[in-house]
Homo-oligomer: A and B are copies of this chain.
Amino acid sequence: MITVDPALAACPVPFQETDRVLLGHGSGGQLSAALVTGVLLPALGTAAPSGPLEDAAVVPVAGVDIVVSTDAFVVSPLFFPGGDIGRLAVHGTVNDLAMRAATPVALALAYVVEEGFPLADLRRVAASAGDAARAAGVAVVSGDTKVVGRGAADGLYLVSTGIGQRLPGAAPSAAAVEPGDAVLLSGPIGRHGTAILSVREGLGFDSDITSDTRPLHRLVAAMIAAGGAGVHALRDPTRGGLASALNEIAAASGVPVEIDESKLPVPPPVAAACEILGLDPAHVANEGCLVAFVAPQQAEAVLAAMRGLPEGADAVRIGTVAGGGGEPGRVTVRTAVGSRRVLDMLVGEQLPRIC
A residues with a Cβ closer than 8 A to B are 18-27, 32, 35-36, 39-40, 43-49, 56-57, 59, 61-64, 66, 68-74, 105-106, 108-120, 122-123, 126-127, 129-131, 133-134, 138-149, 151-154, 157, 159, 161, 163, 165, 352-353
How long is the Cα–Cα vector from A24 to B118 in the complex, in angstroms? Answer: 14
The 9 closest A-B CB pairs, nearest first, are A26-B147, A43-B126, A70-B108, A44-B130, A57-B141, A161-B161, A47-B133, A159-B159, A72-B110
- In the bound complex, how far is the Cα of B145 from the Cα of A43, in angstroms? 14
Given known contacts A59-B141, A62-B165, is B23 in contact with A68 (CB within 8 Å)? no
The interface residues of chain B lying within 8 Å CB-to-CB of A45 are: 127, 130-131, 134
Interface contacts beyond A20-B115, A47-B140, A72-B146: sample of 10 additional A-B pairs, CB < 8 Å, sorted by A: A26-B148, A44-B126, A45-B130, A61-B163, A66-B66, A68-B142, A68-B163, A69-B142, A110-B159, A142-B161
Query: Contact at A139–B74, with CB atoms within 8 Å?
Result: no
Q: Give complex CA distance A115, B18 in Å.
A: 12
A145 close to B25 (CB less than 8 A): yes
Which residues of the partner chain B approach A22 to less than 8 Å between Cβ atoms? 115, 147
Residues of B near A352 (CB, < 8 A) are 147, 149
Known A-B contacts A141-B68, A149-B23, A353-B148; the reply to A40 vs B126 at CB < 8 A is yes
Q: Please determine whether A106 and B68 come into contact, CB atoms closer than 8 angstroms.
A: yes
**Given A153-B153, A353-B148, residue A21 in contact with residue B140 (CB < 8 A):** no
- Complex Cα gap A9–B56 (Å): 53
- For residue A48, give the distance in angstroms from its CB to the closest CB of chain B: 6
**Most-contacted residue by chain B among A43, A126, A138, A159 (CB, 10 A):** A159
Contact A40 B143 (CB under 8 A): yes
SS of A interface (majority): mixed
Residues of B with C-beta under 8 A to A154: 148-149, 152
Bound state CA distance, A73 and B145, in angstroms?
Answer: 10
With contacts A47-B134, A115-B22, A159-B72 taken as known, whether A32 is within 8 angstroms of B127 at the C-beta atoms is no
Task: Select which of B44, B48, B71 is within 8 A of A110 by beta carbon.
Answer: B71
A147 close to B69 (CB less than 8 A)? no
By a CB distance below 8 angstroms, the chain B residues around A110 are: 70-72, 159, 161
Instruction: Give bound CA distance, A47 to B140, whole Å.
Output: 6
**B residues near A21, Cβ cutoff 8 Å:** 113-119, 122, 147
| Closest CB in chain B relative to A171 CB, distance in Å | 15
A32 with B143: CB separation less than 8 A:
no
Q: Are A163 and B163 in contact (CB-based, < 8 A)? A: yes
| Contact partners of A26 in chain B: CB under 8 A | 113, 145-148
The answer to whether B62 touches A142 (Cβ under 8 A) is no
